[in-house]
Amino acid sequence: MGVAVGLLALIGRLGVASAVVRTVRTGRVLISEVIMALAFLVKEHPFSHLIDTLKDGNKFFNPQKLNDPRYDQLPLSIRVLLEAAIRNCDGFYTKEEDVQNILDWQQQQNRAEVPFAPARVLLQDFTGIPAMVDLAAMRDAVAKHGVDPSLVNPKCPTDLIVDHSLQIDYSKCAIQNAPNPGGGDGPNQSQGPSRSTPSRRGSQCGGQRGSCSKAACSDSPASSGRPAASVQQIENTPLLCPFHLQPVSETETALKNQEMELIRNKERLQFFKWCSKAFKNVNMVPPDIGAVHQMNLEYLSRVVQVTDGFIYPDSVVGTDSHTTMINGLGILGWGVGGIESEAVMLGQPVSLTLPQVVGCKLVGSINPLTTSIDIVLGITKHLRQAGIAGKFVEFFGPGVSQLSAPDRTTIANMCPEYNATVSFFPVDQVTLKHFKKTNFTQEKLELLESYMKAVKLFRIYEDPSEDPQYSEVIEINLTSIVPYVSGPKRPQDRVAVSSMKEDFQSCLDEKVGFKGFHISKEKQDTRVPFLHCGQEYQLSHGSVVIAAVISCTNNCNPSVMLTAGLLAKKAVEAGLVVKPYIRTSLAPGSGMVTHYLNTSGVLPYFSQLGFQVIGYGCATCVGNTAPLPEAVVDAIKQGELVACGVLSGNRHFEGRLCDCVRANYLASPPLVVAYALAGTVGIDFEKEPLGVTSEGKEVYLCDIWPTREEVQQTEEDTVISSIFKDLRGRMEKGNTLWNNIECPDSVVFPWDHKSTYIRSPSFFSKLSIEVPPPQSIESAHVLLFLGNKVTTDHISPAGSIARVSAAAKYLLSKRLTPREFNSYGARRGNDAVMTRGTFASIKLQNRFIGKPGPKTLHIPSGQTLDVFEAADRYQRDSIPLIILAGKDYGSGNSRDWVAKGPYLLGVRAVIAESFEKLHKNQLVGMGIIPLQFLPGENADSLELSGKERFTITLPDSLSPRQQLTVQTSQGKYFSVTALFDTEKEVIFFRHGGLLRYVARTLL
């Protein structure tokens, strides 16, 4: 041992691999291990002969120097994986055989498991706070074992963008919904700053959107029955109708929402501030700068990275499925679960099976009336039908050159909707032109181009001789794509705009399902009158009550936002108005969007139609829409109407925007404006007018739709480098409110046990250094008996916290009022809230119950209980739990609590017909075993009632795709497949999940 200690200093000076250093520091080291470490250090990098040098002196690993003809045949996305494997080949995490497997991709696809170390990790606050809470808890856990807690840091550069907590408290000129402070502080205890809004005199409403009297205005907090105390956060705010006086400026509206965000989320923001100081390698983007997707595109993307004189491709994994947007810029990246991202943050590479790569060849010309959103929906349909789940998609062909860089990111964004891992657009001249606009220096552009060409990651799409070999090729003719919307419940259900009226009618006729609402013929013509702001209006099936123009994810493209703005301008000039009861909003993904809308002169026209900037962050998409006017809600309920929301976002499942809005459609921003003007989705734009002017003139959509030439000219005139200078200026200046937040100055976080926002989770309780053997699941009960297409929206807590939910009971026990509940997303750092919110969706279809709702059957007692209450009883009785499900379990966007929640509920296994791959990985990462019925079998064919008790025997030596036997208490046996794709997944499961595995490597 003395020799080992003597060698330790040498090892430290040389820079030994972190795993060996950790072993040495604990004193549990063998001479042979030290010698092996030294041998590795003195050994030359196995691919040092590939090191090349650019003219500027930067070095890089050049795969072309392999002189292997297979390299030129590789898809460019696979070349990125190969370069990362070559550069990171250390003999530990990445081995020479991994490099050879990637090089031999044609033979090894869907077979070989390879590591991938991305250049950076991307987090947003809703998914980022659990990761940071887990790291803070890990510091506590290792400290208890005598290990320095400051060693727990992200090894991989990590960007965290605080953007998902914004709610629309204010818009127009007054309060839309009462301020909702959180954290248990009373209204007068907030330390957040307040702004004074001077009262204005007047008695008559005016403006483009109608008029009202004070008494009749349903948007006024005073008239809605809300307590006066609830509106005292902003001093002297007039409790007046939003249309009664002149509206405040956009800036003041956004400031008010920002102030409320600080008040409501004070504890979370303090924790984030502590993280930015306590953890190394963490870059925190404060609130009100921009949405995560656009910040990734506009500010964080590099295309190439330079570290210690070495240049290499930029790449990223993020805790959001829409991380894939970055592939539009030739940057390889995809969404992973929160626990996978934590592993990458701590230095573990992503493990993936070499994917098939589908070549998507684009040919033909784009129709002048078709927007990038139409192209997205068209490509989504084609690729979903092609069955490309889990595959890479790489675009090529002459049609790609017609797509701008924003067009490409728009298309790449939606790849989770057709279940691809990435949709990759290699770098070309269009990409370089884009980055020239975004203030890349000429020197950086030359470096980028020279490097990408040197390693053959640069494409000339018109040259077919450069086309690599793909697993298969799908050809899409851009000429065939026409304008579409998507809905009313799922993003894959496309509807041609020309067929929208007929399609909505069929939705009313069809039985309740993915498309149908089953409204009887005699009730389909129901019209319900109501008063709003002193005027009478009518609602019917198909009436639009929410219209949200959002420019994050699939609508960050300037062309579609400018098209919407120009459409609004032409509508106002034609004398059209939007009915004032429609909840309109404009949520730019970043200040860049507001900048170019303002510079182009269309922002005032947006405002005149009611689409005012409400702030920067996720709002309508994540269920943070302000409550609809009470008169509207009453009319919908009275007539049992299928009211509609139209939004240019990316999520629109039934009930997500608002409980009483059953039909929601994804549409391009100009079509959101068009449907808001029409007031209904039941319109044929070609045959029916959008509206009638005060002079009685009918105005059709074709009369005000801007031409492609108008849009392109406006984009060229406004989307310029000054936009990106403005963004960088705001990043450097920071946020005043954020800058003034005080936070603890400590290595470990001082948990406040009274906090209802931030709580140390129990993932590391009773953590032992030794790995326990696999434990069989004995006599488990079924917690939930589910059908097909159970999405992450059904499983993971999201949106507002219902007053009758298990989470609400917990918060009430902490002496919070319903007004202080906030949302599940905001309380994502509190496992007690999130566990109670798991499977709390009002749309959950549990076969034990027979109707939608967050309930289940507690089998021993026969009682119907909240899912959490039933699980809590089972855990108190030490009864393990499983879930039975159908096809596509866990589909939807990535959420870490979709696996953490079931784990804390006591779920040990999920048996389903099929799983969404990302969610399957998350289950494994939390120590829950995903089991798949054999082909042709399911719960019904096996005649399972779900009320049996299940025993699943786990052998000591698990292996990928191993078949296991399940025995029921009724004496029935059937086989299932353990969905471990790699040996590493088996290791994670044996450790009880990825978090425990990472903690043990530190111990």
Could you read off the pLDDT of 31-47 as tens digits, one per residue? 333 444 444 444 679 99
Q: Which two tokens stand for residue 228?
A: 């006066």
Taking residues 426-442, report their average pLDDT: 86
Q: What is the CATH number of the domain that holds 914?
A: 3.20.19.10
pLDDT (tens digit per residue) in 5-32: 333 333 333 333 333 333 333 333 333 3
Look up tokens 């470490």; give the residue. Answer: 37
DSSP string, 672-731: HHHHHHHTBS---TTTS-SEE-TT--EE-HHHHPPPHHHHHHHHHHHSSHHHHHHHHHHH
The tens digit of pLDDT for each residue in 870-916 reads 999 999 999 999 999 999 999 876 677 889 999 999 999 999 999 98
DSSP for 767-816 reads: --SSPPPP--EEEEEEEEEB-S--BHHHHS--SB--TTSHHHHHHHHTT-
Average pLDDT over residues 69-94: 94
Alpha-carbon distances, residue 139 vs 337, 452, 716 (angstroms): 21, 40, 50
* Average pLDDT rounded to a whole number, residues 712-735: 70
Q: How far is CA 431 from CA 292, 402, 438, 725, 985, in A?
A: 21, 12, 11, 19, 37
The beta strands (E) that lie in 286-399 are given as 304-307, 310-313, 315-318, 332-335, 350-353, 357-363, 392-396
**What are the DSSP calls for 564-577, one per residue?**
HHHHHHHHHHHT--
Instruction: Report if residue 209 sits inside a domain.
Output: no
Residue that terminates a domain, selected from 706, 741, 759: 706
pLDDT by residue (tens digit) across 799-815?
888 888 999 999 999 99
Instruction: Give the C-alpha separation, 234 to 236, whole Å.
Output: 7
pLDDT digits (tens, 9 = 90+) for 347-360: 788 888 899 999 99
Q: Among 852, 787, 833, which residue's Cα sits nearest to residue 130?
A: 833
Is pLDDT above 60 for 320? yes
More confident residue, 717 or 389: 389
- Asked if 111 and 354 count as a contact pair (C-beta separation under 8 A), the reply is yes
Q: Is the link from the previous residue into 488 a cis peptide, with omega within 30 of 0?
A: yes
The CATH number of residue 540's host domain is: 3.30.499.10
**pLDDT at 559 (0 to 100):** 83
User: In terms of pLDDT, which residue wins out, 459 or 590?
Assistant: 459
The H or E element that residue 87 is part of is: helix 76-87
Q: Is residue 675 one of the residues assigned to a domain?
A: yes
Amino acid at 14: L
pLDDT at 466: 94
pLDDT of amino acid 251: 59
> Sign of dihedral through CA atoms 683, 685, 691, 695?
negative
The verdict on residue 33 lying in a domain is: yes
Which of 656, 675, 706 is the endpoint of a domain? 706
pLDDT > 70: percent of the chain = 82
Contact 287, 258 (CB under 8 A): yes
Given a contact cutoff of 8 angstroms between Cβ atoms, the answer to whether 432 and 578 are in contact is no
Residue 268 has pLDDT above 90, yes or no: no
Flag the least confident range among 17-21, 377-381, 844-848: 17-21
Residue 691 and residue 827 in one domain: no
Please tell me whether residues 566 and 696 are part of one structural domain: yes
Do 699 and 800 belong together in one domain? no
Same domain, 803 and 925: yes
The two tokens of residue 270 are: 């303090």
- Say yes or no: 544 and 677 in one domain: yes
pLDDT of residue 569: 96
* Total number of domains constituting the chain: 3
Q: Which two three-digit tokens encode residue 58?
A: 């930067």
Secondary structure of residue 951 in the 3-state scheme:
strand
DSSP 8-state assignment for residue 649: S
> Does residue 885 belong to any structural domain of this protein?
yes
The secondary structure element, H or E, covering residue 764 is none
Residue range 156-205, pLDDT digits in tens: 999 998 876 656 666 543 333 333 323 333 333 333 333 333 333 333 33
- Domain range spanning residue 516? 484-706
Asked whether residue 164 is domain-assigned, the answer is no
Q: Please name the residue that has the structure tokens 């979370």.
A: 268
Q: Would the pLDDT of 297 be above 90?
A: no
Q: What is the greatest pairwise CA distance in the chain?
A: 97
Are 987 and 841 in the same domain?
Answer: yes
The answer to whether residue 310 is domain-embedded is no
Residue 193 lies in a domain: no
Q: Place 654 in a pLDDT band, splitting at 50, 70 and 90.
A: low
* 915 and 797 within one domain: yes
Residue type, 654: E
Is residue 496 located within the same domain as residue 635?
yes
685 shares a domain with 564: yes
Q: Name the 3-class secondary structure at 133.
A: helix
Q: Tens of pLDDT along 543-576?
A: 999 999 987 654 456 888 899 999 999 999 999 9
pLDDT at 935 over 50: yes
What pLDDT does 189 receive? 35
Buried b (16+ CB within 10 A) or exposed e, 746-777: eebbeeeeebbbbbbbebbeebeeeeeebeeb
In a domain, residue 375? The reply is no
Q: Name the phi and psi angles at 667, rounded to 5.
A: -150, 165
How confident is the model over 49-75, as a mean pLDDT? 95
Same domain, 789 and 926: yes
Higher-scoring residue by pLDDT: 751, 653: 751
Say how many Å lie between the first and final Cα of the chain, rounded. 19
330, 136 Cβ separation under 8 angstroms: no
Q: Please check the confidence at residue 426 and state whether its pLDDT lies above 50.
A: yes
Q: Which of 706, 733, 753 is the last residue of a domain?
A: 706
Worst-scoring range by mean pLDDT, 235-249, 272-286, 600-614, 845-859?
235-249
Residue 312 burial by CB count (10 A; 0-12/13-18/19+): exposed, middle or buried?
buried
Rounded to two decimals, what is the model's pTM? 0.66
Computed on alpha carbons and rounded to an integer, the radius of gyration of the chain in Å comes to: 28
Alpha carbon separation from 476 to 481, 557, 937, 953 (Å, rounded): 9, 21, 36, 48
Find out whether 143 and 999 touch, Cβ atoms under 8 Å.
Answer: no
Give mean pLDDT, residues 821-850. Answer: 90
pLDDT for position 35 = 42
